[in-house]
């Protein structure tokens, strides 16, 4: 029977290959070792800087602190002066427009703020009242028609026209609004050019408002002289801005005329240079590669700075050199450093586990008293483990004239792949 003549032929094949990433890994290991030296140098530089700072730090700190304090004080003083002068300049110009005393205007602004009336609303209402009084004098406008048609309206027109200034007219208006029924107040306020928000002042008696005005005067209000100083400040800064703009007007046209030919040449050169784009791309790639390499180097430096700090902490806490060795933080020779680097490479590639590394180090320390020889022995043991784990066993079984089956045995995994007929095995005996 065919089955009686069939024989299984087992072929053991060990497939060995070269890891293409090995050169890159070795380069990274060299970078890592260089980073260790760099980190030690950085640590020494930091210690030296601290030594110098311990001598000069106090004097430098006082000088820098004093300079910073002076600069902050100067900036704060300028901002405070400018803010005050800006407000004084605004009130001075508005007081002349309304023909009122600047200090009285500032006091009324305080009253409005206390009663929840915005400063812009107060200013707009005073300007509206001033315009309304002018229309009443001309006997024109909706306000004049309304006041002529209500009881007491003509008397109110007369009192408003006799008021010495706009703030006095505001007092007359608020008094009239208090006398009418609440449902008519909004219409009367509109006829007088007042914002509806000004009705909040009507809710308070004139005596209460006068008390707030007197309170603000006790705190200090602008005088004609102080307002003039604020105006002079702002006028000077406005003149300075105008002078700077004039300087630009004189200088910039000449600069533009001189620069235009160069701009035109650059435009033509860019438009006519077809190779400029690839060149920029190539330079950009070099820059990106350089930055990436620097970032990796910096990462290694920072990591090894942490290692060095860990070593120093171990020594300071009394662990001593033996404890440092036990933790694997100290490398004493180039051979031991190479062995340790190879162990880390195998671990990074996943060819050995952390438990296998720990076991190999323990066996190495058992067999060798020298830390260097123990590390090398552990490396050799882990290399054998990694090579066995990376081996691939292929078993081929076939009967003459039948289809072969290939079983790939890789650890615990088993994969059966039909490959077709193998004539060479048909005549095997």
pLDDT tens readout for residues 198-244: 999 999 999 999 999 999 999 998 888 888 888 888 888 888 888 88
User: What's this model's pTM, rounded to 2 decimal places?
Assistant: 0.45
pLDDT score at 237: 86
CA distances from 51 to 33, 56, 239, 274, 396 (A): 27, 9, 53, 57, 73
To the nearest whole number, what is the mean pLDDT of the chain? 73
Is the pLDDT score of 67 beyond 50? yes
pLDDT score at 274: 66
- Higher local confidence (pLDDT), 270 or 392: 270
Q: Roughly what angle, to the nearest 10 degrees, separates helices 119-137 and 166-179? A: 90
CA distance 204 to 198: 11
Query: How many CA atoms lie within 13 Å of 424's alpha carbon, on the beta-carbon side?
Result: 2
CA distance 420 to 404: 6
CA distances from 199 to 60, 116, 130, 305 (A): 61, 11, 17, 71
What are the domain boundaries of the chain? Answer: 2-12+393-427, 99-222, 331-390
Determine whether 375 is exposed, middle or buried from the number of CB atoms within 10 Å of its CB (0-12, 13-18, 19+).
buried
Is the pLDDT score of 95 beyond 70? yes
User: Region 49-74: what's the mean pLDDT?
Assistant: 57
User: Region 17-25: what's the mean pLDDT?
Assistant: 43
Q: What is the pLDDT of residues 112-123, one digit of tens each?
A: 999 999 989 999
pLDDT score at 14: 38
**Residues constituting the chain:** 429
User: Which of 43-63 are b and which e, b meaning 16 or more Cβ less than 10 Å from the residue's Cβ?
Assistant: eeeeeeeeeeeeeeeeeeeee
Question: Starting at the edge strand that comes first in sequence, how are the strands of the sheet with 393-397 ordered?
Answer: 393-397, 403-410, 413-421
Confidence label for 54 from pLDDT (cuts 50, 70 and 90) = low
pLDDT score at 108: 93
User: Region 152-177: what's the mean pLDDT?
Assistant: 90
CA distance 92 to 105: 9
CA distance 174 to 156: 11
CA distance 392 to 269: 62
Q: Is 138 helix (H, G, I), strand (E, B) or coil?
A: coil
139: which 2 tokens?
């006997």
User: Region 345-364: what's the mean pLDDT?
Assistant: 88
- Higher local confidence (pLDDT), 40 or 366: 366
Q: Roughly what angle, to the nearest 10 degrees, separates helices 206-219 and 166-179? A: 150
Is the pLDDT score of 347 beyond 90? no
Of all residues in the chain, what percent carry a pLDDT higher than 90?
A: 19
User: Region 190-198: what's the mean pLDDT?
Assistant: 91
User: Region 371-400: what's the mean pLDDT?
Assistant: 73
pLDDT score at 266: 78
User: Region 292-304: what's the mean pLDDT?
Assistant: 59
pLDDT score at 296: 62
């Amino acid at each position: 029977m065919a089955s009686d003549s069939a024989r299984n032929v087992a072929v053991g094949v060990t497939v060995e290959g070269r890891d293409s990433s090995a050169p890159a890994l070795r380069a990274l290991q060299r970078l890592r070792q260089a980073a260790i030296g760099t980190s030690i140098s950085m640590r020494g530089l930091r210690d030296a800087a601290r030594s110098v700072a311990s001598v000069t730090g106090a004097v430098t700190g006082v000088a820098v602190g004093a300079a910073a304090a002076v600069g902050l004080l100067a900036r704060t003083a300028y901002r405070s002066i400018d803010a005050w002068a800006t407000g004084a300049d605004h009130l001075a110009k508005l007081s002349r427009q309304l023909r009122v005393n600047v200090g009285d205007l500032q006091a009324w602004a305080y009253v409005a703020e206390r009663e929840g009336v915005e400063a812009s609303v107060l200013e707009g209402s005073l300007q509206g009242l001033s315009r309304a009084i002018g229309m009443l004098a001309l006997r024109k406008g909706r306000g004049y028609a309304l006041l002529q048609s209500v009881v007491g309206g003509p008397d109110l027109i007369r009192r408003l026209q006799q008021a010495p200034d706009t703030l006095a007219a505001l007092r007359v208006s608020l008094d009239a609004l208090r006398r009418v029924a609440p449902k008519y107040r909004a219409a009367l306020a509109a006829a007088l050019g007042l914002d509806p928000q000004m009705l909040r002042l009507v809710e308070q008696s004139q005596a209460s408002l006068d008390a707030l005005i007197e309170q603000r005067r006790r705190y200090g209000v602008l005088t004609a002289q102080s307002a003039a100083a604020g105006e002079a400040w702002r006028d000077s800064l406005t003149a300075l801005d105008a002078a700077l703009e004039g300087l630009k007007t004189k200088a910039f046209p000449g600069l533009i005329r001189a620069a235009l030919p160069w701009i035109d040449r650059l435009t033509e050169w860019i438009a006519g240079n077809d190779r400029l784009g690839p060149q920029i791309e190539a330079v950009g790639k070099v820059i990106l590669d350089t930055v990436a390499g620097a970032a990796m180097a910096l990462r290694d430096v920072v990591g090894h700075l942490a290692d060095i700090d860990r070593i120093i902490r171990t020594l300071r806490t009394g662990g001593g050199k033996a404890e440092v060795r036990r933790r694997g933080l100290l490398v004493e020779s180039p051979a031991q450093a190479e062995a340790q680097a190879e162990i880390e490479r195998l671990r990074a590639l996943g060819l050995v586990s952390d438990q296998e590394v720990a076991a190999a180090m323990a066996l190495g320390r058992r067999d060798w008293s020298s830390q260097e020889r123990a590390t090398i022995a552990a490396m050799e043991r882990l290399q054998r483990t990694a090579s066995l784990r990376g081996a691939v066993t292929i078993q081929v079984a076939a009967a003459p004239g039948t289809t072969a089956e290939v079983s790939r045995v890789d650890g615990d995994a088993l994969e059966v792949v039909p490959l077709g007929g193998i004539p060479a095995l048909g005549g095997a005996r």
